[in-house]
Structure 1
C-alpha cells in the first residue's frame, strides 16, 4: 500500500518540526512538503498533490480558511485537517464551511493526530472533543441568530437518528446496519437532510446539528 502523503502548513517552524517528527515516526505516513502560509500551501499543493494537509488557520499572506477554499475548489480529493487553538472557535466553523474534514487542537498528542489523519483519509470527519465543546459552549449562549430550529425544517425522528449517526462519523453502510434499513434508504434520508437544512455536504449537516444543539437533545431523548 502506498504511503499517505501529508503536507504540514503552519507559520511556526517549531510547530511544523514537531508535527513532522510525529508523522514520520508512523509507518505508512510520508511528509510531502511543508509551507509557512496559505499561499505557499496552494502553490505546493497544486504541484505535489498531497493526500491530506494539516492546515493552520491564522497565518500571514493567506490564512488557512482562504487556502482551504482554493485547494478544495481546485483539488476536491485533497483532505484538509485544520490545526486550531480553543480561542479560534469562530474560525473553526469557517474552516469546516471552506471544506475541512475536521480539526484538532495544537495541544493534541500523537495518538489523536494519528487517529484524526486515519479517520479523515478513511472518508470520515474528525472533530476534537475539546474544540467541539468550545463551539457548543459558544452556540448555546443567548444570541440573535436567525438560524432555523429543527422544528422549522420538519426533520422526522428517523432523520434525526440518521443525522446523529452521521455526526458520530458512521458511514452509510454502518448507519444502515445500525437502523436495519438498506443503504439506499440511508442515502434517501441523507438527501432529505441536506435539502431540509440547506447543507451542501456532511460538514454542513454537522454544523447544523451543533448549531441546534442536537447532540444533547438526541442523547436525552
Structure 2
C-alpha cells in the first residue's frame, strides 16, 4: 500500500456513527480515512475517485444495501477489501455478505481494539469475523443453511487441489499446508489462486463455502 497507510472508505447512513468510527480509526497512525458515504450508491461512486484499500460497510442503508454494494465492489474493484460493520447478527445477513465476497464481519458493539485488529488482519490478506458473530458464520457455512439454489456448482479439481482445499477449510496457514503436503508455500498460493478461479469464488471465504456445499471439507 502506498506510503504504508491503509486507506479506508466508511459507508454508513448515520453521521454520528461515521464520526465515531473515524475517531477510532484515526487513533491508528497506519490507517487513513479517505472518504465517507451515507448511502450505497455514493460508496460505489467514491471508489472511482479515491484510492481505497478497505471499505467499511454498513448493511442497512438507503438506496443500495450493503450486500448489493459488496457484490458490485467485488465485481468492479476486486482489489478492495470489504469489512461489514453492522448491528445485524442473523445468519441470513452473514451468509449474504460472505457470498457477496466480504472478507470480514463485525457487529457495531465491537471494541475499538477489535475493529483495528480486523482492518489490519484483512489488509494482510486474511479474513476476520468477530467472536460474537462466529455462530452465525458457522451456520452460514453449513449445508443445512445453504440456499435452495446453490451458487457454487461442482467443478473438476485435481487431487492436490482437493487436498489444499480441505486444509483451507481447517484454517491451515500457507506454511502449515506446505509442510503437510511437502510442497512450498509459493506452490500453495498458486493452488489457492487456481481454486478461486476454478470455483468462481471471490476469496478464501468463498472457497470454504464451495467446499462445504460440495462436501469437500470432509475426509
Range class of TM-score, shorter chain: 0.7 to 0.9
SS in 2 for 1:5: strand
TM-score (ref. length: structure 1):
0.76
Of 62, 67, 85 in structure 1, the residue corresponding to residue 69 of structure 2 is 67
| Structure 1 residues 1-221: aligned runs within 5 Å | 1-137=3-139, 139=142, 145=148, 159=162, 162-165=165-168, 168=171, 170=173, 172-177=174-179, 179-183=181-185, 185-187=187-189, 190=192, 199=201, 201-208=203-210
Could you tell me how far apart the structure 2 residues matched to 1:129 and 1:204 are?
Answer: 20
Could you tell me how far apart the structure 1 residues matched to 2:107 and 2:191 are?
Answer: 32
**Higher share in helix:** 1
1:37: how far off?
Answer: 0.9
Instruction: Spell out, residue by residue over 1:1-55, the C-alpha distance to the aligned partner (whole angstroms, 9 max, x if none).
Output: 4321111111122221221111001111111111111011011111112111100
SS in 1 for 2:74: helix
Deviates more, 1:203-212 or 1:76-85: 203-212
1:112 and 1:212, CA in 2 relative to 1: closer, same or farther beyond 3 A? farther
Could you tell me how far apart the structure 2 residues matched to 1:210 and 1:85 are?
Answer: 27
Could you tell me how far apart the structure 1 residues matched to 2:61 and 2:196 are?
Answer: 32
Q: CA RMSD in A?
A: 3.5
Unaligned runs of 5+ residues in structure 2 are 151-155
TM-score (ref. length: structure 2):
0.77
Could you tell me how far apart the structure 1 residues matched to 2:146 and 2:204 are?
Answer: 25
Number of aligned residues: 214
Whether the aligned pair in 1 keeps the contact of 2:44 and 2:69 (CA below 8 Å) is yes
